[in-house]
Structure 1
């Protein structure tokens, strides 16, 4: 009888454990540089934030996407340049979250496409 119970438990426990693992939330994947470009720069997000028409959630989304982009490896060009350009974007978006009045101008200046694309955009 004890042997049967142990055998049953040894079969059921891995199955229960597998179900619990499947039910857990998977870590969220960071957006690619291409996704950030599409949503933030080609899409309306940066323009909306700079114009002061973005909601707090949109500002948070922009900041999160810019932080995620800064944590990626540049497709080409130096890491130093990549970090410098992304730091300007991150800092401006963070100031925007903090309600800094000058942040819109800083974000508009940091979102200069040519500054980043000339060195880092893949050909």
Structure 2
């Protein structure tokens, strides 16, 4: 009986953790918000893109991740605000990669962690 309860508890824990991970990822999204924050934001890829120091592969990865971020649901706050902030970030990154004048500054402004975290984290 003890073994059964231990196994059952483990299965429930795995199911709950899987559900939390899935909730972090939108229907058509390739990356979870957590993955994007770790790799693109904290990992510094977005900074490399803004400074023009990212390789073509890194630029493409950042665009792909930010596209996923737009598709992911917010942890809290309104969907409208989430879409507005994440879309602005994606657009600024795309313009920076395309080399448009003033886009790097726009990207730097869009990468305002606190503005987004205060509302959505």
Q: Give your verdict on TM over 0.5.
A: yes
Equivalenced residue count is 94
Equivalent-residue separation in structure 1 for 2:77 and 2:29 (angstroms): 24
Q: Is 1:104 the equivalent of 2:104?
A: yes
2:120 match: 120
Normalised TM-score (structure 2)? 0.73
Task: Give the SS at the match of 1:100.
Answer: coil
Q: Are the structure 2 counterparts of residues 89 and 29 from structure 1 closer, same or farther at C-alpha, using a change threshold of 3 Å?
A: closer
Residue correspondence of structure 1 range 1-123 to structure 2 within 5 A: 30-121=30-121
| Unaligned residue ranges in structure 2 (runs of 5+) | 1-27
Could you list the structure 1 runs, at least 4 aligned residues long, displaced by more than 3 angstroms after superposition. Answer: none
| Unaligned residue ranges in structure 1 (runs of 5+) | 1-27
How big is the alpha-carbon RMSD for the aligned residues of Structure 1 and Structure 2? 1.5
Normalised TM-score (structure 1)? 0.72
Q: Is the 8 A contact 1:59 1:96 kept in 2?
A: no
Task: Give the SS at the match of 1:75.
Answer: coil
Q: Is the 8 A contact 2:49 2:97 kept in 1?
A: no
Equivalent-residue separation in structure 2 for 1:59 and 1:102 (angstroms): 17
